[in-house]
A and B are shown apart, each in its own frame.
Chain A
Amino acid sequence: MTDAGWFVGLEPGDVPAAARAIRDGRADEPQDWPRLAVEAGYAPDRESYYERLHEAAISATREAVADRERADDKQLVHAVRAMDDLTETVNELAERAVEWAGSQYGESREGLDYVREVATRRPEQPVEAEIVDLAQSVVDLADRQASIEAFVEGQAAAVAPNLTMLAGPILAARLLALAGGLESLAKKPSGTVQVLGAEDALFAHLQGHAPSPKHGIIYTHEYVRGTRPEERGSAARALAGKLTIAARVDHYSGDRRPELQTALDDRIERIRTRGAEQ
């Protein structure tokens, strides 16, 4: 059926089947579909053919968009996890490469720049060949990490524009990863979002031998970290509240709400000045 029009074999009133045919069908070459559909009896005339096509295409595209967007947040979650794994591995291997290269070349330098420089050297002994190759592998992994980070930064805004506006792309992606996707983040209460990433501290608290955690991963946000310790709990609660609203808007409506940013800015401003006056 590679050359049939979308309407072939459909009952005229069956919109779900028509939507499926539009989404899944294909043809190598286009044809004069309106004429063929009228001839096949799918529609009495061109006008009603277009009406049916319009209705089916709206329904098909709406469903396809919802499916794709749902899939995209899962891909983002994988990407941010891979990014974090790479960061950890790069740090560990870079440290090893620095130590090894330093002992062989009698140098005491540090950091990824040193590893990058070692990777360009021409080895003169078998041991140097191993060191240079290891350095090259570290550089490759670091580049891969940077590339995935760039992907995450671009993708976060597409998957959750409001959440990304408030949290920045990396924190937004981490929240999605911790919650397991946009839908589950949107369904979490604000108090849970506030301590996402602080599960160890939370369970210690629930077992009765620790204070309740004030914040989880959202600690990395300037509005929490940059607020005086006495007011940090309030700042974390306010931020989590707005992030939760943003995630719900992103999941359920998809509108952009710039006013969320203003509301958050005002709230944090009030929390910070309140502390200063006392």
Chain B
Amino acid sequence: MTLPEGVERRTFDGESALATRGEPVYGEATDGEWRRWDPSRSKLGAMLEMGLDTGLGAGQTVLYLGAANGTTVSHVADVAGTTYAVEFAPRPARDLVEVAATRPRLIPLLADARRPETYAHVVESGLDFVVQDVATRGQARVATQNARFLDPEGRLVAAIKARSEDVTSDPETVFEAVLDELAGTYEIETTARLEPYHVDHLAVVARPRGGSPTSRSI
């Protein structure tokens, strides 16, 4: 499969790995201006490593939900265009701000992804991508509520964590329930388990269903 423009395979310590071009963030290996994108520290990195077609590409506009301390979103901003990064916890958001300080296209926001009305006055409509990695209950609801930011041709790329929904249920059961709920708003294109990089995580790539997703607020 072809990697998105701006993501390449480079050799680090004799090992081939994904990389993007940008200032190092978390002590990752570098090769010239390229820096290694570690799939075991990044769900999106794992999706690309596994050859999943996310559709992510150069210059696209992105809303990243659950940006944490900016590890993955820094790689996204290396590749994409304007990237809005939403994180709820103050401690990781402190690191995220520093990551964003040297990346003009990365817009950090301390906000709760379950309450899009608290950042819809900043984040623009018609985005190419919503990337979601929130370890909270109600991950399908988060995806549904944030559909309003997507262009009708845009895509949701989500990493669903089974343990955040219900630690006692079988992950497959949890994923089915999440996909069922997502199907109300999105047309699912691809799903894949992220093992061995991330245990009990399901990658989901989906498109908003026809009609204007912005009018479907709950």
Contact = CB atoms under 8 A, between A and B. Distances in A.
Nearest to B100: A58
A25 interface: yes
Contact of B121 (A4, A51, A62, A69): A4
Given A69-B90, A158-B91, A30 B149 contact: yes
B110 A61 contact: yes
Interface stretch (B45-53, B123-131, B176-184): B123-131
Given A65-B90, A65-B110, A72-B90, A30 B97 contact: no
A30 B125 contact: yes
Interface stretch (A31-39, A113-121, A143-151, A230-238): A31-39
A57 B106 CA distance: 9
A29 B122 contact: no
A203 interface: no
B148 interface: yes
Contacts of B214: 29-30
B6 to A, nearest CB: 18
Given A54-B104, A64-B110, A29 B217 contact: yes
- Size range of the interface on A? 20 to 34
B148 A29 contact: yes
B82 interface: yes
Nearest to A69: B90
B94 interface: yes
Contacts of A32: 124-126
- How would you classify the secondary structure of chain B's contact residues: helix, strand, loop or mixed? mixed
B93 A33 contact: no
Nearest to B101: A58
Nearest to A33: B124
Given A28-B217, A64-B110, A69-B91, A6 B121 contact: yes
B89 interface: yes
A92 to B, nearest CB: 35
B108 interface: yes
B89 A26 contact: no
Given A69-B91, A158-B89, A29 B97 contact: no
Interface string A13-41: 00000000110011111111110000000
Interface of B: 82, 89-91, 93-94, 96-97, 100-101, 104-110, 116-118, 120-126, 148-149, 214, 217
Given A30-B123, A33-B121, A57-B100, 20 more contacts: A22-B109, A26-B117, A26-B120, A27-B120, A29-B120, A29-B125, A29-B214, A30-B124, A30-B148, A31-B125, A53-B122, A54-B104, A57-B107, A61-B96, A61-B100, A62-B97, A65-B90, A68-B90, A72-B90, A254-B91
Q: Please give me the 5 A-B residue pairs with the lowest Cβ-Cβ distance, nearest first.
A: A27-B121, A68-B90, A30-B125, A25-B121, A64-B110
6 contacts: A6-B122, A21-B121, A33-B124, A54-B105, A60-B110, A61-B110
